[in-house]
């Protein structure tokens, strides 16, 4: 069932599938959409959503500051209230995992289980954050200067996505078109206000997170394997699932394994 929910004048688009418990909420990655996770179908009620500003040719978000993590969290809390949903199993990938972690640290009472796929708790030092802020602003300016087509071509050459080149032509085309159909201004402002540099450093909060957390990484994603190894050491209630023959986007490359992981969560 496709549904739109208006929050503070912005129409969030959702796809709701399945029935019963648990209730799952999925956050896609940067330049993704609700279609990102629709192949992931664990038992229960599944809510796939377009995060703020993302989705096919979505209107420009008039207040760019709404992309800030905690602002998005407040929107999503209101969205859940409108759906009469108190708690969810929250699943996020990459940028969506960062937002899911902000959600978990801000309103843990709304989460039964937190699943972070290829996520990070942010950058530790102010110097690293400042370097990344500059890099993210440069990317944002680049989107506005050259347009989505050229930016996406450059983005897809990043080493992070090398393993996706082993996917079928149809799957690669799906991913390419999903990125291409984004609103360039929203993509730029997402980088400015919720890029990794703009995200708060949450490493010091991990030890105090009492909600159960599942970390998922692809074994071929060496950068995020190291990051998640450190996160596992600090989270008090955590399991870490490393998926063979997968890179950064584990659910895209190995959907059945991710479904199996989610179905082991007893909430």
Portion of the chain with pLDDT greater than 70, in percent: 99
Answer whether residue 175 shows pLDDT above 90.
no
Portion of the chain with pLDDT greater than 90, in percent: 86
Answer whether residue 267 shows pLDDT above 70.
no
Lowest mean pLDDT among 85-94, 144-153, 160-169, 171-180: 160-169
Express each pLDDT in 234-256 by its tens digit. Answer: 999 999 999 999 999 999 999 99
Stretch 200-213: mean pLDDT: 96
Cis peptide before 100, with omega less than 30 degrees from 0? no
Express each pLDDT in 55-108 by its tens digit. Answer: 976 789 999 999 999 999 999 999 999 999 999 999 999 999 999 999 999 999
Quickly tell me which residue has 């859940």 as its tokens.
Answer: 80
What is the pLDDT at residue 159?
80
Give 174: exposed, middle or buried? Use CB within 10 Å, 0-12, 13-18, 19+: middle
- Quote the CA–CA distance of 92 and 109 in Å, as a whole number: 17
Predicted TM-score (pTM) of this structure: 0.96
Domain annotation for the chain: domains and CATH numbers = 2-122+200-263 (3.40.50.1820)
Answer whether residue 168 shows pLDDT above 90.
no
- Quote the CA–CA distance of 104 and 108 in Å, as a whole number: 5
- Quote the CA–CA distance of 191 and 193 in Å, as a whole number: 6
3-state secondary structure the chain: CEEEEEECCEEEEEEEECCCCCEEEEECCCCCCHHHHCCCCCCCEEEEECCCCCCCCCCCCCCHHHHCHHHHHHHHHHHHHHCCCCCEEEEEECHHHHHHHHHHHHCHHHEEEEEEECCCCCCCCHHHHHHHHHHHHHHHHHHHHHHHHHHHHHHCCCHHHHHHHHCCHHHHHHHHHHHHCCCHHHHHHHHHHHCCCCCCCCHHHHHHCCCCEEEEEECCCHHHHHHHHHHHHHCCCEEEEEECCCCCCHHHHCHHHHHHHHHCCCC
Q: Which residues contact 62 (CB under 8 A, 6 or more apart)?
A: none
Answer whether residue 131 shows pLDDT above 70.
yes
């Amino acid at each position: 069932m496709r549904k739109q929910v208006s929050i503070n004048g912005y129409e969030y688009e959702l796809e709701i599938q399945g029935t019963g418990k648990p209730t799952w909420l999925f956050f896609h990655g940067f330049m993704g959409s609700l279609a990102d996770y629709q192949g992931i179908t664990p038992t229960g009620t599944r809510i796939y959503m377009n995060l703020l500003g993302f989705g096919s040719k979505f209107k420009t978000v008039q207040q760019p500051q709404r992309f800030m993590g905690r602002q998005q969290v407040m929107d999503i809390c209101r969205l859940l209230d409108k759906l009469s949903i108190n708690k969810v199993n929250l699943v996020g990938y990459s940028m969506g995992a960062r937002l899911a972690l902000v959600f978990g640290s801000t309103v843990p009472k709304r989460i039964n289980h937190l699943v972070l796929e290829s996520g990070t708790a942010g950058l530790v030092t102010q110097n690293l954050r400042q370097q990344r802020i500059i890099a993210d602003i440069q990317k944002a300016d680049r989107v506005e200067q050259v347009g989505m087509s050229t930016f996406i071509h450059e983005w897809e050459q990043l080493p992070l996505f090398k393993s996706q080149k082993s996917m079928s032509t149809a799957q690669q085309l799906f991913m390419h078109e999903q990125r291409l159909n984004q609103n360039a201004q929203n993509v730029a402002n997402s980088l400015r206000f919720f890029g990794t540099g703009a995200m708060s450093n949450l490493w010091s909060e991990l030890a105090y997170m009492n909600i159960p957390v599942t970390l998922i990484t692809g074994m071929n994603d060496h950068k995020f394997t190291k990051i998640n190894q450190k996160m596992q050491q600090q989270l008090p209630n955590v399991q870490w699932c490393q998926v063979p023959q997968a890179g950064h986007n584990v659910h895209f490359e190995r959907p059945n394994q991710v479904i199996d992981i989610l179905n082991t969560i007893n909430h």
